[in-house]
Every structure is written in structure tokens, then in C-alpha cells.
Copies of this chain bind each other. A is one copy, B any other.
Amino acid sequence: MTDQLINDRDIDFLLYELLDTEQLLSRERYQEHSREVFNATLDTARTIATKYFANHNAKGDANEPRFDGERVHMIEETQAAWDAFAEAGFLAAHADFDEGGLQMPEIILRSAMAYISAANVSSSGYPFLTIGAANLIRTFGSEEQKALYLPPMQDGRFAGTMALTEPGQGSALADITTTARPQADGSYRLYGQKMFISGGDQSLTENIVHMVLAKIEGAPAGAKGISLFICPKVLVNADGSLGARNDVALAGLLHKMGYRNTTSTVLSFGEQEGAQAWLVGEPHKGLGYMFQMMNEARIGVGMGAAILGYQGYNHSLDYARNRPQGRLPSNRDPSSKQVPIIQHADVRRMLLAQKAYCEGSLALCFYASALYEDSHTAPTAEEREQAFALLDLLTPMVKSFPSRYGLKANELAIQVLGGSGYTREYPLEQYYRDNRLNPIHEGTEAIHGLDLLGRKVPMAQMAAYRLFTETAHRDLESARAHPELAPLADAVAEGLTLLNETTATLLSRLAADPDRTLANATVYLDMFGRVLVAWIWIKQALVATGGLANSPADSDDAHFYQGKLQAARYFINWELPEIKPQAELLQRFAPEPFEMQDAWF
């Protein structure tokens, strides 16, 4: 079994060949950095991942956190991992120097996180959520709030959570019932229950800062009445010292199929005197603020799903190279030597599909991180706005495609190992269980489908959508210049045309009949995702073609680029064509599910 985390060569390819990460150094914010600093950051992440996270991935799964009615007990390795992550400065990595941070670009931080996730996705939940919560305070909090909470969240004394979901409403955030009662001193008291709150309690930090959505008494109904609050587990005095315990209680832990070392909690706010909380920003604008954290978390979910898929790919590839079994169909001599199973075409199919799904997903997430970076630090306002619009449009697929296909990759990885893959003696089944969470949290597939087709595509006269197709077509033009890429580029162009037609047909009825038009939005989400990742593979193939021309035959680099090209061919020739029946379904507003009656089930 390989102990490899991701594939360093691929990370290097993504950062410096597919994306021009080096040009970030010309931006003012990063002028004190260098490629060496970036690489040293990744080296540190890799070391921490290997030493402090990989060591207890299986152990944390077998010994999940327990709640004894008073406190949560966790295996001690999780604490060491948290401490190492914090001590290396990663909790503050992308904060500015003058805020005590490392002023690191988003994409470098994401790459660092990729190593951590590869080693142990569930222990990585605590720091990742904390980074997201701190970003929220940094962007929307008052100076006082920033001064009070950011330093301990950056040095690892406090963790953070996002507390949105409630037992009664699940995905329907507009219906949350947690209430905020204004107090004379300008603070609030919260009353209500939150569910599925990751990291909502743990034994790692002296305090936990919950970013809570609630409705101020008398607020408008629905999403327009939601406000955002800071509600710490332990009250914090003005000097930063800890005060009394706040009225936030752990009602219980949920027991998940996977991702077990991340606690999933039910939290009760205000069972006694009310949980003290402080409004972030303006009243009733909480959902908009929270979307910042959710959108970051969504890239994070996509990345985690891609990485879990990638780890399964690495392990099953290693197994397939070393496990002899059977012979090729043409060999009828039973006394001949068995071949390594990687020589069986169906095993190669399963490995190539994993490679195409996971490297495609990872490249998509890196691309999204670069857009995030550009939306904040690109030189011109126009570039920043375009990056923001494009990222906003693509976020549903950035979250959903890796979640669906990373899981599918893990399913294939188990299949490569056969019976062994099904046992807990190998890590594949844990990846599969861990990854099953990803199509659910941070917005189910259904939610993202509705968001994409109902809102993001039509928004601003489809400006972002057009930006996407124009961007893709530029790459397709470049690809057509290479004879061996031309048929692939043509296939993706055809896919884009089909997506355009389908989109136009759907949008023509959206206003008149939203229920029927949006009925198959999940299919649209998958179709868009396939086209998007096909384009991402064209981008990778373009770089690989150039790289191949400059690599000695039979060199490691030549093989690496050949692999990229073959994966691009696989994805575009095997996976993309499934959009044809999808487009057909969508364009005829296929009514079978919509018209199915409750009584008929």
C-alpha cells in the first residue's frame, strides 16, 4: 500500500503549468513571497499531514468522538494534529501580515489543505471550519469583534463553526426558527436548536465561536429576516480572557457512516437564560454574509471530495500494479504466469475513470481557487468582477461534480481490489464512507441544481454564463490548432452547443412555469458539470501537449503528460457523451418524476 498523499507532480502541474500561480508574485499583496516560499509552505503542509494527520485517519474512524453527557472525548492524536496545524500558522495563513497572518494566496492555502485532507479528511474539519468562521468575522465583523475573536482563532485557542441547519428545516434556511431577542446592552439572546453542526463541540480548544443564523424577534418572514450572530461557547471578556460559560449546550452527537472524527452535533441555544450573542453587520442581512462562508466551504467540499477520490485512486493503482491474477483473454495457457491486474482492460478502465474524475475535479477546484484569488487581488476591477461572477456561476458544479464523481471513484477503487477493497483491512472502504457525505452537506445536489438553473444561469441576462462559454471557447480554439486535440475540442464544442440549446429551452419557460422547468434541475447540474470538466480536461490536455513536446521520450514527464492526454480522451469520449440523453430529457421537460403521484409509489 502506498503512503503517498495526492501526487506532488500533479500539484506542481496544477499550480505552475495549468494555472500561472507564479504571476501572483507580481501582485502587491504577494510581493514579499516567492515560488520558494510557496513550495516551502506546501512542504510544511505535507509534513504535518503525514506526521500528524495520516497517523490517525483509521483510528479516528474506529474510535469516534464520544459524549458522556458532560463533555466530548476524542482520541489524543486529533489534538496533536490541531496543534501542529495551528503552530505552523496555517489558521492565519491567508490573513494579512499586519493581522498576524502569512498573507498567503488562497490557492497556496488550498493546496496545503489538500495535503491535510488527503491524510485525514475528518480531522481536517476543525481547522478548515475555523478558517471559514474567521474569514466571516474578518469580512463582516466590527473592529471590536475582530480584535476580540480573530487573534485566538488564528493562534488555535478558539475554533469556529457555522450553525445554520435546524432539526425542523434542513436545507430550507428561510424557515429557521432560532430567535434572537435584543438586550439593553446591544447584545442579543438566542433561543433555538441547531443540528448537524460540524465541530459544534470538541475537546480541542478552550472556546468555540459559533457563527449562528437566527431571526431577530419581529423580523420579516423567510430568508429576508435572517441575521448573523457570533455566539461563543464561553463568553469572552473585553480583555480577551475567558468569562462564564454561555448558554449553549451540546444536546448530543450524531453518529455518521463516515467522516467520524469530525463531531456532528445538535446544539441547544438558550435552554436557560438565553445564549449571549452579538450581531454581525446589519440586521436581516445574515444569509448574504453567510454565503461567503458557505461558498468558501463549497470549494472546500469539492476539494475534499476530489482528494478522497484521489487517495482511493492512488491506493487502487498501487494494488493493481502489484497484485497478480488471471491472464488476458487471448492467453489460453493455464500454466503461464498470472499478470498484474493492471493489465486487465477493465481494471485499466476503472483506474482511468478514477484518474479522469479526480484529476479533473481537483483541477476544477484549483481553477475555482484561482478565481477566488482573482476576485480579491486581480489588478483591475473588471478582472476582479469577472472572476467573482464566473466563480459564483460555477460554484454549484465545483461543489457537486467532485462530490458525485469522487464518490464514484471510491466505488471503483473498492471494485479494483475486489473482496479486499470491501474489508476494513484496506483504507478504501473508509474513503468511500467518508466521501458519501459530500453530496449532502453544504447544499445537496438538488439545492445546487435549483440554485444553478433557477438563479445563477439566468442572473444578469446570463452574463456569467456567457463569460463561461466565451472563456471555454478560447481554449477550444487553442486546442483546435493541435491536430491530436482537434477531435476532442470539437466534441467539447458540441457539448457546449448542446448546453446552450438546452439552457435556452429551459429558460424560455422558467418564468411561466418554474415548477416544471426546475423539476429536472439536478440533471442539468450534472450535464453542466460534465461539460465544465470536459473543458477543464481540454485545458489540461493543452498544457500536456506543450509539455510533451519539450520532454525527452520515455521520461517521467513524458509519461505524466501522456497520462493527462489519455485521461482527457477518456473523459471526453466516455463521460461527456452521456450529456446527449440528458439534453434530450431536459429539452422535452421529461415529466415522469414531476407527474408521479404520491399514491402511486
A-to-B contact residues, CB < 8 Å: 165, 169-172, 174-175, 195-196, 221-224, 254-258, 264, 317, 321, 323, 325-330, 334-335, 338, 342-349, 351-352, 355, 407, 411, 414-415, 418-419, 421-425, 429, 432-433, 436-437, 439-441, 444-446, 449-450, 454, 513-515, 518-522, 559-560, 562-563, 566, 569-570, 573-574, 577-578, 580-581, 584-585, 590, 592-601
User: DSSP class of A's interface residues: helix, strand, loop or mixed?
Assistant: helix
A346 touches B256 (CB 8 A): no
B437 touches A415 (CB 8 A): no
Q: How far is the CA of A422 from the CA of B255 in the complex (A)?
A: 8
Shortest A12–chain B CB gap in Å is 17
Q: How far is the CA of A352 from the CA of B415 in the complex (A)?
A: 27
Contacts of A321 in B (CB 8 A): 598
Given A317-B601, A349-B522, A584:B577 Cβ within 8 A: yes
Contacts of A343 in B (CB 8 A): 598
Contacts of A171 in B (CB 8 A): 325-326, 418
In the complex, the chain B residue whose C-beta lies closest to that of A349 is B593
Contacts of A562 in B (CB 8 A): 597, 599-600
Q: How far is the CA of A411 from the CA of B598 in the complex (A)?
A: 21
A422 touches B257 (CB 8 A): yes
Shortest A425–chain B CB gap in Å is 7
Shortest A269–chain B CB gap in Å is 19
Residue among A165, A223, A514 having the largest count of chain B Cβ atoms under 10 Å:
A514
6 A–B contacts, CB within 8 A, in A order = A257-B432, A349-B520, A422-B436, A422-B437, A429-B436, A577-B585
Q: How far is the CA of A255 from the CA of B426 in the complex (A)?
A: 10
Given A257-B433, A514-B329, A601:B563 Cβ within 8 A: yes
B444 touches A415 (CB 8 A): yes
Copies in the complex: 2
A422 touches B440 (CB 8 A): yes
B559 touches A599 (CB 8 A): yes
Given A515-B345, A590-B574, A421:B440 Cβ within 8 A: yes
Partner of A566, one of B355, B560, B580, B600: B600
Shortest A133–chain B CB gap in Å is 20
Q: How far is the CA of A454 from the CA of B596 in the complex (A)?
A: 40
A422 touches B256 (CB 8 A): yes
Shortest A435–chain B CB gap in Å is 11
Contacts of A436 in B (CB 8 A): 411, 414, 422, 429, 432
Shortest A433–chain B CB gap in Å is 7
Partner of A352, one of B258, B429, B569, B596: B596
